[in-house]
Amino acid sequence: MSTQVHASVDESTVRQLSEELGEPEWLLETRLDALDALEDLDFPDVIQTPGRLWTDLADLDYDSLVDPLGAAEEKDQVGPDGVEVLSFTEAVDEHEALIRERFGSVIDPQTNYLTALSTALFSTGTVVYVPERVDAEDVKVRTTMNSRSLFNYTLVVAEESSSVRLLERQETGEDVDGDRYYSGLVEVAAGENAYVQYGSLQNLDQTTYNYQLKEGVADTYGQVDFIDCNAGSRLSKSSVETHLRGDGSETKIVGAFYGHEDQHFDIDARVWHRNENTTADLVTRGVIDDESRSVYEGVQDVGRDAWNTSSYQRENTLMLSDESEADASPKLIINNHDTEASHSATVGQVDESDMFYMGSRAIPERTAKNMLVEGFYVPVLEEIAVDELRDDFERLVRDRLDSRD
Amino acid sequence: MSSDQDHLKETETEARFEFKKEESSAFEAEKGLTEETIRVISEDKDEPEWMLERRLRALKQFRQMPMPDDWPGAPDLSEVDVDEIVPYIRPDIETRGGAENWEDLPDEIQDTFDKLGIPEAEKNALSGVGAQYESEIVYQNMQEQWEEKGVIFCDMDQAVQEHEEILKEHFMTKNVPASDNKFAALHGAIWSGGSFVYVPENVTVQMPVQAYFRMNSDGMGQFEHTLIVAEENSEVHYIEGCSAPKYSEFNLHSGGVEVFVGEGAHVQYSTVQNWSKNTYNLNTKRAIVEKDGTMEWVSGSMGSKATMLYPSSVLKGPGATDNHITIAFAGENQNIDTGAKVYHNAPNTKSTIESKSISKDGGRTNYRGLVHIADGAENSSTSVECDALMFDNESTSDTMPYMEIQESKVDVAHEATVGKIGDEDVFYLQSRGLDDDDAKQMIVAGFIEPITEELPIEYAVELNRLIELEMEGSLG
């Protein structure tokens, strides 16, 4: 493994960062361990077939993208009474034991090169803590990135029989010279019988390279749902994974993306069935236009002990232009025969008979096509619990459709 | 079943595959792979210089290429040590290029194929038969009517001598070059035996031609090459069968198949593979399909310790069609990694892939498939369907499809399901008086029916018998 960032990042950078944030020793150690591990770690897995690498993450010039000490942002962190929505620094001050226990418990900081880089260099973040039996609606975390690079960390802990529905969104504010890099790690832990819906809306500008890994763990009867909406960035690698560790736990991973111009989206949805009676439903819908490119990998992994598993996966890509390209790989890995699993994937255009029908109703072609594209997202939009996420994603889609030539 | 097929009932399928013959040969190469070995093989076959050069070039490529062991979930190939393999055994026969009468063969070879039921099948259902024993074709015959129409069906060594121009152009050049993968390179270096089929324009070969491959010796490698050239508007169905008795050492089978489907031509290539469970079966099979041509791959993979097989079709001409039907059955200690690969490189091309897999007693099946639709392949469509049936909790079933779509005017659909054998189905059949074993066998037979109905009745019966054998006594 080459060491792309050593010119701008070394031990003293990490120490300075940690000291400025007033962090405890154990956190500094975790950061330094991640920094040390960089040399031995690989980039996140990307699919390669004969003659085609689906996404090239190693090709980015991290050295010029990463500016750890210059991080600048604006952040709103809001939530209803009864639930704690804290900045990461506040959370470490007020709940050090909790953070120490949970930090890195869902995502191993040394999963890959980019998670280790993020762990070593993150300077901002949010902790959402939902105590037992508390139900929280409309938690919102809004981040506007104003610097060349930003490393963000999010932790959501839902205790027994609690529930929370939240939205985390990323945008870019002030312009910078050259390209940018955003990196976000999200850990979600749903306790016994707890419910978490984590929705995200990524609309970074098209000079930004974006890496996000969101992982959830569901305890007994717990449920973790992800809604991952991607509209912005130049290139995104966004992986969403749920570990169904508890008996009877569930997950829904819902994805939506809309690529245009020369955007590249690499979206992963993965579920690990690791206990009995677990259920997963993976639904991703994406539109690609102009020269944009989409890559989708879905994995349903059923472990040896996952008796009575139900697991479903659907992925649909709509191509609006002839220059766009779509790659898809929905995978099933089944080690327990007491499983009902299926997946399907399609790629195609707006349906001609639908267009014909709309025409017969005297709807102009352009309007008809836009309506059908908006309708294409409905199965995804229906799952969203936070109005702001649904409304804003719908608006983004409409704006993009209106701006088509 | 008509009286014609009575012999199928009478032969004991298991005994037919499991017998061994004394190893006797006229020429046996040293173990391992060196330039010297290859020169010796080439000389023993009296090959022209260009073929020797291709072999040596392939050897060089083999040495440089990595093992295909870094794929997710790939079979363990660590035991495959080419230096432990006997790459070439020429059985002790008089006629090079294969005898035309079974009676001309030495008794033990004749007896082998009798037991496998090949001469019987030839009488009943085939236009021509080739039989390979160890590294060489020992029997080759075709009905005269096809010969008169210009159809060629001969063993590859003979083809190198007698049809040099066709081979020079088509042999491991634009279809499966040695550089394709490590085992294609190995194959290119030490290939021996196999069949050459040439069907002239507008000729339809009505009954299938068949080749049967038998490995008898311990620790040997079989590397036969099959080349099929079907000219414009011709039609042919080629069937290959494979078996070997089980030895303690591993055997390696690494075949190469190249099919050229001309304009409007139709080729079906069917395989019923029943290698012994110590055989590594690592093949490269590919068809290039011209305008309005159709290629059909029908594969039943029952045997072997590990199989890696992904028949591919390159749909080169507009309107070309590909159909894949594959079935994989993995029992104890078997890892059957099969799939399909289709490149849509022209407009109006169509492919359908239907894959069925069954895993039991700790066996592992994996569907690994790639569909690529190139920019400009307008109005192409592909549909992939994978169904897996699992018998128990020790088994594994993976499905790993890859789709690469560079053209928007397409219709792409992939679907897969995995499930256990349905308790309700079994219960229903039991209520009709079937016992548990019979019920499950019947469900499996129904599950694989789309495959068996593509095969001539002899082979369909054979396939069902093999599956019954695999399942016997192991159901609980």
Q: What is the DSSP string of B155-175?
A: EHHHHHHHSHHHHHHHTTSSS
Task: Considering only the beta carbons, identify the residue of A321, A327, A344 that sits closest to B408.
Answer: A321
The Cα–Cα gap between A8 and A64 comes to: 8
Query: Between chains, do B401 and A331 touch, taking CB under 8 Å as contact?
Result: yes
Task: Considering only the beta carbons, identify the residue of B391, B396, B402 that sits closest to A334.
Answer: B396
Residue B13 banded pLDDT, cuts 50, 70, 90: low
The first and second tokens of residue A132, run together, are 């037992």
Residue A101 banded pLDDT, cuts 50, 70, 90: very high
Query: Between chains, do A342 and B414 touch, taking CB under 8 Å as contact?
Result: no
More confident residue, B457 or B179: B179
Residues in A closer than 8 angstroms to B412, CB to CB, are 345-348
Interface test with A, best of B70, B71, B345, B397 (most A CBs within 10 A): B397
Residues in B closer than 8 angstroms to A344, CB to CB, are 413-416
Q: What is the mean pLDDT of residues B88-107?
A: 75
Return the closest-CA partner of residue B305 out of B329, B280, B282.
B280
CA–CA min distance A1, chain B (Å): 17
| Residue A262 DSSP SS3 | coil
Residues 6+ apart with CB under 8 A from B370: A49, A50, B310, B339, B340, B341, B342, B401, B402, B403, B404
Q: Tell me the CA distances in angstroms from A316 to A307, A343, A344, B386, one per residue in order.
A: 29, 11, 8, 18
Task: Considering only the beta carbons, identify the residue of A307, A317, A333 that sits closest to B398.
Answer: A333
Could you read off the pLDDT of A27-67 as tens digits, one per residue?
999 999 999 999 999 999 999 888 899 999 988 888 889 98
User: What is the reported pLDDT for A3?
Assistant: 44
Residues in B closer than 8 angstroms to A317, CB to CB, are 405
Query: Between chains, do B405 and A321 touch, taking CB under 8 Å as contact?
Result: no
- pLDDT surpassing 90 at residue B408: yes
The first and second tokens of residue B314, run together, are 């390159």
Q: Which residue of A has its CA nearest to B383?
A: A346
ipTM summary value: 0.88
Residues in B closer than 8 angstroms to A349, CB to CB, are 408-410
User: What is the reported pLDDT for A222?
Assistant: 98
Return the closest-CA partner of residue B267 out of B241, B300, B242, B233.
B233
User: What is the reported pLDDT for A97?
Assistant: 96
Could you read off the pLDDT of A350-403 as tens digits, one per residue?
999 999 999 999 999 999 999 999 999 999 999 999 999 999 999 999 999 999
Residue A207's CB is within 10 A of a number of other CB atoms, namely: 16
The Cα–Cα gap between A286 and A281 comes to: 17
Query: Between chains, do B393 and A337 touch, taking CB under 8 Å as contact?
Result: yes
More confident residue, B246 or B404: B404
CA–CA min distance A153, chain B (Å): 30
Query: Between chains, do A329 and B403 touch, taking CB under 8 Å as contact?
Result: yes
User: What is the reported pLDDT for B195?
Assistant: 92
CA–CA min distance A334, chain B (Å): 5
The first and second tokens of residue A81, run together, are 């009474």
Q: Which residue of B has its CA nearest to A332?
A: B399
Query: Between chains, do A47 and B392 touch, taking CB under 8 Å as contact?
Result: no
Residue B248 banded pLDDT, cuts 50, 70, 90: low
Query: Between chains, do B419 and A341 touch, taking CB under 8 Å as contact?
Result: yes
User: What is the reported pLDDT for B229?
Assistant: 97
Length of chain B: 476
Query: Between chains, do A47 and B413 touch, taking CB under 8 Å as contact?
Result: no
Where would I find the beta strands (DSSP E) of A260-404? 264-273, 279-288, 293-302, 309-319, 325-334, 339-348
The Cα–Cα gap between A297 and A255 comes to: 12
The first and second tokens of residue B265, run together, are 């031509």
Residue A2 banded pLDDT, cuts 50, 70, 90: very low
Q: How far apart are the first and last CA of chain B?
A: 30
Helix (H) or strand (E) holding B118: helix B118-125
Q: Which residue of A has its CA nearest to B368?
A: A331
Identity of the residue numbered A361:
R
- pLDDT surpassing 70 at residue B2: no
Residues in A closer than 8 angstroms to B408, CB to CB, are 319-322, 324, 349
CA–CA min distance A351, chain B (Å): 10
The Cα–Cα gap between A200 and B16 comes to: 62
- pLDDT surpassing 60 at residue A102: yes
Q: What are phi and psi for residue A137, nearest 5 degrees?
A: -105, 160
Residues in A closer than 8 angstroms to B405, CB to CB, are 317, 319, 325-328, 347
The Cα–Cα gap between A124 and A76 comes to: 12
Residues in A closer than 8 angstroms to B395, CB to CB, are 335, 337
Give the global pTM: 0.89
Using CB atoms within 10 Å of the CB of residue B1, give its burial: 0 to 12 exposed, 13 to 18 middle, 19+ buried: exposed
CB of B77 within 8 A of CB of B306? yes
Helix (H) or strand (E) holding A258: strand A250-259
Query: Between chains, do B403 and A322 touch, taking CB under 8 Å as contact?
Result: no
Query: Between chains, do A341 and B417 touch, taking CB under 8 Å as contact?
Result: yes
The Cα–Cα gap between B453 and B440 comes to: 19
The Cα–Cα gap between A118 and A139 comes to: 24
Residues in B closer than 8 angstroms to A328, CB to CB, are 402-403, 405, 414
CA–CA min distance A195, chain B (Å): 28
Residue B4 banded pLDDT, cuts 50, 70, 90: very low
Query: Between chains, do B393 and A328 touch, taking CB under 8 Å as contact?
Result: no
Residue A3's CB is within 10 A of a number of other CB atoms, namely: 12
The Cα–Cα gap between A66 and A13 comes to: 12
CB of A397 within 8 A of CB of A149? no
Number of H-type helices and E-type strands within chain A: 10, 20
Number of H-type helices and E-type strands within chain B: 14, 25
Could you read off the pLDDT of A205-260 as tens digits, one per residue?
999 999 999 999 999 999 999 999 999 999 999 999 999 999 999 999 999 999 99
CA–CA min distance B353, chain A (Å): 14
CA angle B327, B330, B332 (to 5 degrees): 170
CB pairs under 8 A between A and B: 115
Q: What is the mean pLDDT of residues A302-322?
A: 96
The Cα–Cα gap between B264 and B293 comes to: 4
The Cα–Cα gap between B44 and A37 comes to: 57
User: What is the reported pLDDT for B14?
Assistant: 57
Query: Between chains, do A339 and B419 touch, taking CB under 8 Å as contact?
Result: yes
Q: How far does Cα B226 stand from its chain's mean position? A: 10
What is the crossing angle of helices B49-64 and B182-190, to 10°?
150
Q: Which residue of B has its CA nearest to A351?
A: B411
User: What is the reported pLDDT for B289?
Assistant: 98
The Cα–Cα gap between A231 and A259 comes to: 6
Residue A264's CB is within 10 A of a number of other CB atoms, namely: 21
Alpha helices in B399-435 (DSSP H): 423-431
**Domain boundaries in chain A?**
11-350
Instruction: Report the DSSP beta bridge partners of residue B27.
Output: B90
CA–CA min distance B468, chain A (Å): 20
Residue A306 banded pLDDT, cuts 50, 70, 90: very high
Task: Considering only the beta carbons, identify the residue of A329, A330, A337 that sits closest to B390.
Answer: A337
User: What is the reported pLDDT for A5?
Assistant: 59
- pLDDT surpassing 70 at residue B94: no
Task: Considering only the beta carbons, identify the residue of A50, A327, A337 that sits closest to B395.
Answer: A337
Residue A145 banded pLDDT, cuts 50, 70, 90: very high
Q: Which residue of B has its CA nearest to A299?
A: B400
The Cα–Cα gap between A13 and B291 comes to: 63
Identity of the residue numbered A13:
T
Average pLDDT, chain B: 86
CA angle B107, B113, B117 (to 5 degrees): 135
The Cα–Cα gap between A257 and A350 comes to: 16
User: What is the reported pLDDT for B81?
Assistant: 85
Query: Between chains, do A339 and B413 touch, taking CB under 8 Å as contact?
Result: no
Q: Which of A70-74, B345-349, B471-475 has the highest mean predicted lDDT (pLDDT)?
A: B345-349
User: What is the reported pLDDT for B11?
Assistant: 45
- pLDDT surpassing 70 at residue B96: no
User: What is the reported pLDDT for B476?
Assistant: 34
Side-chain half-sphere exposure of B282, counting CA atoms within 13 A: 23
CA–CA min distance A337, chain B (Å): 5
| Residue A48 DSSP SS3 | strand
- pLDDT surpassing 90 at residue B134: no
Q: How far does Cα A245 stand from its chain's mean position? A: 20
Query: Between chains, do A317 and B395 touch, taking CB under 8 Å as contact?
Result: no
Residue B5 banded pLDDT, cuts 50, 70, 90: very low
Q: Which residues of B touch A (CB under 8 A)?
A: 73, 370, 372, 375, 388, 390-393, 395-420
What is the crossing angle of helices B457-471 and B436-447, to 10°?
140
Task: Considering only the beta carbons, identify the residue of A322, A324, A339 that sits closest to B420.
Answer: A339
Q: Is the dihedral of CA B31, B33, B36, B37 positive or negative?
A: positive
Q: Per residue in A85-112, is it b (16+ CB within 10 Å) or e — as a string?
A: bbebbebbeebeebbeebbbebbebbbb
User: What is the reported pLDDT for B15?
Assistant: 59
Residues in A closer than 8 angstroms to B388, CB to CB, are 332, 334
Q: What is the mean pLDDT of residues B140-145?
A: 82
User: What is the reported pLDDT for B28?
Assistant: 77
